[in-house]
Amino acid sequence: MSSISTATAGWLALRAPADDAARSAELAQRLGRILRRSPAPIVMHDLGAGTGSMTRWLAPRLPGPQRWVLRDGDAGILQHVDLAPAVDATGAPILSEVVVEDLAELPADAFHGASAVTASALLDVVTGEEAERIVRACLSAGAPALFSLSVTGEVRLRPSDDEVVESAIARAFNDHQRRDADGRRMLGPDAVGVVADLFRDAGWNVRTAATPWRLGRQHSALVGEWLDGWVDAAVEQRPELAPAAEDFRRRGRSQLTAGRLRVDVAHQDLLTWPR
Ligand SMILES: C[S@@+](CC[C@H](N)C(=O)[O-])C[C@H]1O[C@@H](n2cnc3c(N)ncnc32)[C@H](O)[C@@H]1O
């Protein structure tokens, strides 16, 4: 695939409990109501499926029977798909298949026959052109879509240690997300706005929900990994930040060890469906 792989199975397992707690159950329920009118089985496509965490979370919230198509550009991550615990709303197991596919080549008819499309932690790592392909394929199939957990760029650490450095790191991290890497410019924190506008322009309904990670003492391993990734990306983007950012990281690490660090990382979920 043209993109750098954005996840490892270990990272996805580490973040899964925080992801599951953050996702909008209300938008999922609404999708479930929309799908009550669909012929059985419900056919769902999960884009950037990773190890299948969105499928595991969403399947029990939708009517059965269900068939899922898990699509991802990284054949390696798909080796770790685990759908053993995935059941529909009646408790019945789901049927599934995997497809290795780069979204840069997603055909316009990719979702024909789909009841709905979903994705989680994906929109912020796709390019504008890939987002347009996803939207075009949803419109062509008339398939509602639920895009979960796109980062919006706001982060809050408590206790707040140095707000000036924290804001500078946050700005540099967000610029890093939007940077041009190997000819690809990811949407980063602009993703939900861009995709929402594309669906609204097509006359579709759009609902969004704030779905922040709220991380505390019980997420210390995740917070440690997240803090390192956040600071490293900011320093890569703005190397002159390194001395202040390393001090910030060191103080954050000692708050974490003392069980005092809390981090909120903003995300948004987006549900869209035809009028
Ligand atoms: C952050 S992971 C999220 C995985 C899963 N949806 C979850 O919530 O745990 C993003 C996934 O999207 C896939 N991905 C990213 N960009 C892609 C692209 N352009 N085409 C296909 N897959 C892509 C990556 O391989 C990765 O598995």
Instruction: Work out which ligand 1 atom sits closest to the CA atom of 49.
Output: 6
Query: pLDDT higher for 17 or 161?
Result: 17
pLDDT at 181: 79
pLDDT at 5: 60
pLDDT > 70? residue 10: yes
Show Cβ contacts of residue 182 under 8 Å, excluding neighbours closer than 6 positions: 2, 4
pLDDT at 1: 41
pLDDT > 80? residue 3: no
CB burial class (10 A; 0-12, 13-18, 19+) of residue 243? exposed
Cα–Cα distances in angstroms (integers) from residue 78 to residues 11, 126, 148, in the given order = 14, 18, 19
For the stretch 200-241, pLDDT in tens is: 999 999 999 999 999 999 999 999 999 999 999 999 999 999
**Binding pocket residue ranges, ligand 1, CB within 6 Å:** 1, 3, 5-7, 12, 19, 48-50, 53-54, 72-74, 77, 102-104, 120-122, 125-126, 130
pTM, two decimal places: 0.95
Q: How many CB atoms within 10 Å of residue 168?
A: 18
Instruction: Work out which ligand 1 atom sits closest to the CA atom of 46.
Output: 6
Q: For atom 8 of ligand 1, which residue has the closest CA?
A: 120
For the stretch 169-207, pLDDT in tens is: 999 999 998 888 778 899 999 999 999 999 999 999 999
Q: Which two tokens stand for residue 84?
A: 């053993």
CA of 168 to the centre of ligand 1 (A): 28
Mean of pLDDT values over 246-260: 95
Instruction: Output the average pLDDT for the chain.
Output: 95
- Helix, strand, coil shares of the chain, percent, nearest 5, are 45, 25, 30
CB burial class (10 A; 0-12, 13-18, 19+) of residue 250? exposed
Q: For atom 2 of ligand 1, which residue has the closest CA?
A: 7
Q: For atom 3 of ligand 1, which residue has the closest CA?
A: 121
Q: For atom 19 of ligand 1, which residue has the closest CA?
A: 103
CA of 3 to the centre of ligand 1 (A): 10
Show Cβ contacts of residue 116 under 8 Å, excluding neighbours closer than 6 positions: 31, 34, 35, 38, 42, 44, 45, 143, 144, 145, 146
**Residue reference for tokens 């939900």:** 192
CA of 238 to the centre of ligand 1 (A): 26
Percent of the chain with pLDDT over 70: 98
Instruction: Work out which ligand 1 atom sits closest to the CA atom of 148.
Output: 8
Q: How many CB atoms within 10 Å of residue 204?
A: 19
